[in-house]
Amino acid sequence: MQYRPLGRTGVQVSSLVLGAMNFGPIGRTTQEDANAIVDVALEHGINLIDTADMYGQGASEEMVGRAIAGRRDDIVLATKANEPMGEERNHRGSSRRWLYKALDDSLRRLGVDHVDLYQVHRWDPATSDEETLSALTDLQRAGKIRYFGSSTFPAYRIVQAQWAAREHHLGRYVTEQPSYSILQRGVETHVLPVTEQYGLGVLAWSPLASGWLSGAVRAGRAATNHRATILPQRFDPTVPANRARADAVELLAKVAEEAGLTLIQLGLGFVTAHPGVTSAIVGPRTVEHLRAHLAAADIVLSADVLDAIDSIVAPGTDLAAHEKFDTPPALLEPALRRR
């Protein structure tokens, strides 16, 4: 396992992160499964576990809490807030009111008195940066969080938040969690250059492109991965973006085979090769899935392999940009662009 500095925090984290989104109802992973996955992850050197309150509406955090009981100090523990937790209109977002309650709820579910990294799951256009950063700074000073970060923020919002932190003398985001894979390279255009400029740690989610790079999705046969069951539109072969992904995967499979690698090793090795990326988040549902991911822990792709990947999916290209969750609100809501 490789270890890298988490931005400028001084904390060393593993190049692979255990993502717990599949713990609970989303991935149908039981507590027994979660315990085994955490055991194997820690045995193989993973030291950062990432979850969120909205994963299974709290179920993932509860399962992570039980799985790490008795060894909290050996783990860099990260969670997130912002996404809806129930139907109440104020049980979401990035206001001080909600972040205070959301964090207390997360700490209770996790069975800990603090988290190491607390992340704003999505940018909340209804809440000012000053409001959010002020709340996070106070929670940090209270000892409930050690650091805070953002997730899936557009580049200009990362810059704006850094400016607001300096302008108002508040703590700043020290990490960003973007979607990044061979098939979704758009963050190379603006996000990763910005995170490098500000010294942010980067924890890349969906490095295997929701299973497209796991080997479970291949041309000429139906997708067999779990995501195809819960998000069938992402694998519908009649969708142009999916056809483009399928064509790319076939070419990438040849590159992997010629390099003596699995598709998973190629996909994870590509993400962790970027100098702006700290770690890739893997989200196994079973120990077998995790072991396949761990086989990529020390993979270093050669320049020839990286060049071959570039020839298949050009740098900065998203093959399914609509799945990025970072589209500016003004492009989604007509009222924001019309008088």
Catalytic positions, written as ranges:
55
**Cβ proximity of 277 and 202 under 8 Å:** yes
> What CA–CA distance (Å, rounded) separates 10 from 183?
31
> What CA–CA distance (Å, rounded) separates 4 from 54?
28
> What CA–CA distance (Å, rounded) separates 15 from 1?
7
The candidate with the shortest Cα–Cα distance to 212, out of 319, 305, 315, 56, is: 319
CA-CA distances (angstroms) from residue 321 to 181, 186, 234, 282?
Answer: 12, 8, 12, 21
Token reading at 24? 């609970």
Write the DSSP symbol of residue 4. Answer: E
> What are the residue ranges of helices labelled H in the chain?
31-43, 59-68, 96-110, 129-141, 155-167, 191-198, 226-230, 240-258, 263-273, 287-294, 303-312, 329-332
